[in-house]
A and B are shown apart, each in its own frame.
Chain A
Amino acid sequence: MNINLVEYFDSTVSLFPNKLALVDSSSKLNFREVQQKAKIISYKISNNYVLFNLPIAIFLPKSNDSIVSFIATLYSGNCYAPLDTKNPIDRIKSILNVLKPLCILTNSEYEEKLKQCNLEFDIINIDTIESKDIKIDDLNYKNCIDTDPAYIIHTSGSTGIPKGVVISHRSIFDYIHWAIETFNITEKEVIGNQAPFIFDNSTLDIYLMIFTGATLNLIPEQLYMFPAKLLEYINTNQINFIFWVPSVLITVANLNLLNTLKIPSLKKVLFAGEVMSAKYLNYWISNLDNSVLFANLYGPTEITVDCTYYIVERDFKDDEVLPVGKPCRNTDILILNEENNLCKKGEHGELCVRGSSLALGYWNNFEKTNSVFTQNPLNNSFPEKIYRTGDIVFLNDQTEIIFVGRRDFQIKHLGYRIELGEIEHAILIVFNSIIPCVLYDSNKKKIVLIYESETEISVSEFRLKLSTNLSKYMMPTEYIRTDKLPKSISGKIDRNGLKELFL
């Protein structure tokens, strides 16, 4: 039995050494080349540091180099934490200060941006590593066991500081084995990647390649600006498998592109990250061949990408809700009501997860970890953790799980998970004389800022100043000034009242 992700990668390399592994806009690499490049970087890491099982931050744009760096990190016996090169410097700093990585892997182009941050962490520029005289058999990963961390992905935090979710090797095997079996994945798959690597949906794309020998094509991000070009790219590269966020599928449907541009190579269409409406799914189904598989996946980062799935096998009316389905193999879902008892069919409750998929916790944050990774309330006999997602769901008559909404102020926008509180914190840092309230208009898919202020602030001024500390996808798109924000009896801002007034 393999106990380490590197062992899976090594066996794939020995089965398919010359098969195409990675494609990006500037290079193509076969499995042996990926392995060689990764080992060279890994040797450099192991040569510099004796310690292992620590995070290494990866500061690279989406590219073959970033995947090679992930694998190199695993070879060195450490875990990787992808950073968003498009993030404002302040957000990157706040992540690094909590992460305290062993070092940061980057390339010549991005080394400068990092140096401007004046960080106290070592930087390794992968473009300048000398490949001669290395002994690449002596790599640290052999000391790791399956419960050791493999990656750390950061999600939005309501207190303004992102949280690093730590995922083990074992959780990734557990997830990928389910995916290979459920969707019949082989080395013949050509995967068209959309998810940025800071978003854990990319785990499926990356590890299907690593486990099966499938080809992973990193579709140039620029093509998502021009959906017609994106469909052309699918054709020319013969992509047959995609796992995308619904917003991209919805854009293609809204522009009615599949009517004129056919994509016959595509055989499997998976989506997750936000609610997919049946209306747009129906558009895709009616414009692709009958044999194409469509699946709705669901799960938060804390349980390793997905914990439930629904393979579309019956017709849905445009206004019907798609189920998130049933638990993935080796995952158990508990729907708990306020009294911590299992919900009956139809009764709304919080979706909680039990299984090998559970994250190890939040990096350097025991308090937050203990608040959501809690003892299973149905088990009084031995310690057993569940993850409380904060998502409200129910079981329908067919025993399928239906997603209802959130218990708190977390939203999904363009596939990204965002705490409205993080946006409000960022606004207060640059505009300290206003009182902000950020709402999400789920119909129009807009982040709306309503602010209490005596004077009007221009949209340009908001966007200009917020671009220094807020990710692009968190930027409000509508700005409304008010003299006084309404308060509820408890003294808090009356969000529901505001929604009725303005949205």
Chain B
Amino acid sequence: MDEKIISILNETRPEFDFSKSNNFITEGLLDSFDILTIVNSLDENFNISIDGLDILPENFSSVDSIKKLLIKNNVSL
């Protein structure tokens, strides 16, 4: 699952090294275009529908937090 998340992040913003970031949002790696692109990719790739109320900074700040969001959406590891 980690690999898939990282590849979605890399396709969205290839110019950044996400592994070196502590927080994608506060460090400015992602903007509003990116968040929506990532939500769409996650929805498509994992066949889920992420709830709008879950589109919050804390759920997109790291690979781990995105993973937690996927688990909340019943994606199995």
Tell me whether A464 and B15 are in contact (CB under 8 A).
yes
A459-B11, A460-B10, A463-B14 known; A414+B53 contact, CB < 8 A:
no
Interface residues of B, count at CB 8 A: 20
Interface string of A254-278 (1 = CB under 8 A from B): 1111001100000000000000000
Report the bound CA distance from A224 to B57 in whole Å: 11
User: Shortest CB–CB separation between residue B72 and chain A, in angstroms?
Assistant: 15
Which residues of B lie under 8 Å from residue A472 when comparing CB positions? Answer: 31, 33
Which residues of the partner chain A approach B34 to less than 8 Å between Cβ atoms? 225
Q: Are A464 and B14 in contact (CB under 8 A)?
A: yes
Q: How far is it, in angstroms, between the C-alpha of A400 and the C-alpha of B22 when the chains are bound?
A: 54
Instruction: Check if B21 is an interface residue, CB within 8 A of chain A.
Output: no
Interface residues on A, range: 20 to 34
- Say whether A255 contacts B33, CB under 8 Å: no
* Cβ–Cβ contact A477 & B37, under 8 A: yes
A228's nearest neighbour on chain B, judged by CB, is B53
Q: Are A414 and B33 in contact, with the CB atoms below 8 A?
A: yes
Query: Which chain A residue has the least Cβ–Cβ distance from B55?
Result: A226
Q: Is the CB of B55 within 8 A of A228?
A: yes
Q: Mark B10-22, 1 if CB is under 8 A from A, else 0.
A: 1101110000000
Assess whether B53 is in contact with A260, with CB atoms less than 8 Å apart.
Answer: yes
Is B74 at the interface (CB under 8 A from chain A)?
no
| Assembly CA distance A260 to B52 (angstroms) | 10
Q: A460-B10, A460-B14, A464-B14 given as contacts; is B52 within 8 A of A225 (CB)? A: no
Closest A-chain residue to B26, C-beta based? A222
Asked if A473 contacts B52 (CB within 8 A), the reply is no
Does B56 have its Cβ within 8 Å of any Cβ on chain A? yes
B14 touches A473 (CB 8 A): no
When distances are taken between beta carbons in the complex, the residues of chain B under 8 Å from A228 are: 52-53, 55-56
A256 interface neighbour in B10, B36, B52, Cβ under 8 Å: B52
Residues of chain A whose beta carbon lies under 8 Å from any beta carbon of chain B: 221-222, 224-229, 251-252, 254-257, 260-261, 414, 459-461, 463-464, 467, 472-473, 477
Q: List 18 A-B contacts (CB under 8 A).
A: A221-B31, A225-B32, A225-B35, A226-B35, A226-B55, A227-B55, A228-B55, A252-B52, A255-B53, A256-B52, A260-B53, A261-B53, A414-B33, A459-B11, A460-B14, A461-B14, A463-B15, A464-B15
Chain B residues within CB distance 8 Å of chain A: 10-11, 13-15, 25, 30-37, 51-53, 55-57
